[in-house]
Amino acid sequence: MNSPTAIFDSQNPKYKCCFGKVHVKTATKWICVLYFILAILFVCFLGLEDLEFSWILFFAILIGSSIDCFIFGSGFYAVKKEKPKWLFPFLLAFVLSLFFDGYCIGYDLINKSYEDAWIIFDIVDFILSIWIINVVYNCYQYLIAKNQSGCLPMSFSNKTIIIPFSLEEETV
């Protein structure tokens, strides 16, 4: 564990993504919001697919929506409140998605029962899931490092670091 006087550099390149242009905290927030919106749209279109009302479909949509709200809400909550353990449901969902996509790709290739559009979609989804897991895991590491450092602020002025505390040890 870092000492309380350790300086935390939130702009470290390891906490950046998208070719160093976006901070992982910002990217994780946007990923959570985007996937939450996509999940809601998916549920809406699923409900519109079958025009006949069914209690089974209703409860499936209700349970699926609740799970999606928890997964993506926990990711957003983790970033907003800086509680890294709340990223675990989000990471678990994407790791499971990775295994599912890998299974679909393998099954389609082995049985030669694929259509080109679906296999390409599965491959793109697989690669995107790997990238998302990487970004969210880096955000997890960022939040852990920030919490361990004691959240000491650093401000930069004319290339001089101004630290609001003394690094010298006090003698008693």
The pLDDT, as a whole number, for residue 158 is 47
| Residue 103 placed within a domain | yes
Residue 9 domain flag: no
What are 135-162's pLDDT values in tens digits? 999 999 999 988 887 654 554 444 555 5
Q: Is the residue at 136 inside a domain?
A: yes
**Total tally of structural domains belonging to the chain:** 1
Task: Tell me how far the alpha carbon of residue 60 is from its chain's centroid.
Answer: 25
Asked if residue 30 belongs to a domain, the reply is yes
What's the mean per-residue pLDDT of the chain? Answer: 78
**pLDDT-flagged residues of the chain (< 50):** 1-2, 152, 155-158, 166, 170, 172
Residue 8, domain member (yes or no): no
pLDDT at 119: 79
Distance separating alpha carbons of residues 158 and 148, to the nearest angstrom = 28
DSSP annotation of 156: E
User: Residue 55 is encoded by which pair of tokens?
Assistant: 């209690």
100 contacts 125 by C-beta, under 8 angstroms:
no
Q: What is the dihedral of CA 111, 114, 118, 120, to 10 degrees?
A: 80
Residue 58 lies inside a defined structural domain of this protein: yes
Domain of 153 in residue numbering reads as 19-162
Q: Does residue 31 form part of some domain?
A: yes
Domain assignment of residue 11, yes or no? no
* Alpha carbons 51 and 28: distance in angstroms, whole number: 36
Under DSSP, is residue 34 helix (H, G, I), strand (E, B) or coil?
A: helix
